[in-house]
Amino acid sequence: MKITTVLATLMLLWYCQSLVGQNNLGAAKVQNKGRFPAAGVITQSSGLALDPDGIHFWTHNDQGNATTKVYKFLPANGNTAVSIVDSVQVVGHENLDWEDMTKDQNGNLYLCQTGKNCNTLSPPECPGRYLYKILKMPFASLNAQASIVPDSFIFKYPLPPACNQNGSDTTFVNAEAAIFFNNSIYSFTKNICTKITNNCGNWVETSTYLFKIPLTAGSSAANPIVGEYLGSYNLKVNEADSTSNYYKVIAGAINPSQKVVSLVTPARVWQFRNFTGDNFFNGDVSYHSFLDDGGNAVIRGYEGADFYNNDLLYLSIDGTNGRISAVNIDSLCTNIRSLVDHVPGSLRTALSCASQSDTLSFNSATANQNLIIDAPINITKNISIVNTQSNVTIQSMTNLPAMFAINPMKQVYLEGFNMEAANYPDNFSIQNNGNLTLKNITVKNFPGQTKNVINKSGATLTVIGDVDIKTN
């Protein structure tokens, strides 16, 4: 299902984007990857970044244990203590709520003071703290010395047009998720408000707001970088999501391919795929609910997140003896495991979730089974659908003009399964308007059906191996 957004025109586009729908991809099984030592120095892990060695991670404490060090550790398995292998002092900068860390693809780590939780319990000076900070540190230096003086970038969040622009109003943000993309930091809010004119930004409690912070040299408290507002996304799926555990973003990461952005709430992990440029909310959106090995719902303060590879997302908990966890994002998206249409794990849902040029595979639960579809499947991206299980049939049970319709110019590869259109005279299996390759595919017709695979003008069809088109 394609996610679309509608941007309200009031407040000069500062209202949130409307939620049209998301794909619920079911459960994300949480794997345990160790714990921080109960008596150790890391008691409030609030960020996570994979070291260039591809083995270790870096983290830091939140303001509740406001150390001014970053720590390198080696994950473990189960509930075994992780190994803290190094710590580096960050010189010249106080921990005024370091919220997250992220990295670029050129060997640099970014420590992100992108928010401050200003509320009724905050100290009196909190409302004055509307300036935020990004600290840049090369991994090579972190791995070679005991202290580091980082490059710093001072910024503030922009005011909505409806607020007073004379300096009396300020945008306050508590943003615990940040990613590096295209030479900028992108901040996703947990909480946001504008004072002294109450909520002149018309912020919506259940939405996360996206801001771009270009890393421009020469910034200072007197001359801060001004972030750019890019949009919002409402993470409250339904009215049953009654607590902030379902919609408050507390961590974020982008995978190495730069094609998937993951946002984490205490109860869910969200995926944003197939976006254009830095408009992360304009592509395909899906979410998973965290579950443990026993199938129980997991709600945890996962405030650190980074990808180990394109598929495996590591998470860290803000708390004493905090847990390190991992979830396999891509297998949940591209693994076909349901025999029913329009549900998590169905072929249709996997196609919607998949990125360009992904390969969809069939779970062992589909072996010797019929996968039922009840509406045409339009293939609008380059994709491979490959089955290695025995005797899997994709079958329609209703009167459909075509089971699969392949868009022009799309490269589609189908291998290893059967297709059977419902027993209506005008039904058929595939209409190809693109570039289709069939390998070891059986297409079954009923008596009286005169079409099975239609190759339209300008389309190409390549046949490999045993391709059988036959009548039942």
How buried is 297 (Cβ within 10 angstroms: 0-12 exposed, 13-18 middle, 19+ buried)?
Answer: exposed
Say yes or no to pLDDT of 119 above 60: no
pLDDT score recorded for residue 124: 55
- Which two structure tokens, joined as six digits, stand for 204? 């919506």
CB 345 within 8 A of CB 317: no
Q: How far is CA 214 from CA 154, 181, 229, 303, in A?
A: 11, 10, 12, 23
What's at 328, amino acid-wise?
Answer: N
Integer Cα distance of 414 and 428 in angstroms: 16
- Which two structure tokens, joined as six digits, stand for 55? 């083995």
pLDDT in tens, 195-217: 776 677 788 999 999 999 999 99
CB 92 within 8 A of CB 126: no
- Angle at alpha carbon of residue 159, lines to 238 and 128, rounded to 5°: 100
Beta bridge partners of 70: 60, 88
- Which two structure tokens, joined as six digits, stand for 338? 């349901």
Say yes or no to pLDDT of 444 above 60: yes
**Which residues, other chains included, contact 40 with Cβ-Cβ below 8 Å and sequence gap of 6+?**
81, 84
Binning pLDDT at 50, 70 and 90, where does residue 12 land?
A: very low
Binning pLDDT at 50, 70 and 90, where does residue 117 land?
A: low
Distance of alpha carbon 306 from the chain centroid: 11
- Angle at alpha carbon of residue 304, lines to 299 and 310, rounded to 5°: 100
Average pLDDT (22-40) is: 84
Scan for tokens 């615990």, then name that residue: 176
pLDDT score recorded for residue 469: 77
- Which two structure tokens, joined as six digits, stand for 167? 């300096």
- Angle at alpha carbon of residue 77, lines to 74 and 79, rounded to 5°: 105
Q: Where is average pLDDT lowest: 7-16, 96-105, 313-322?
A: 7-16
Could you tell me which of 258, 255, 263 has the C-alpha nearest to residue 302?
A: 263
pTM for the predicted model, two decimal places: 0.80
Instruction: Compute the mean pLDDT over every residue in the chain, rounded to the nearest whole number.
Output: 87
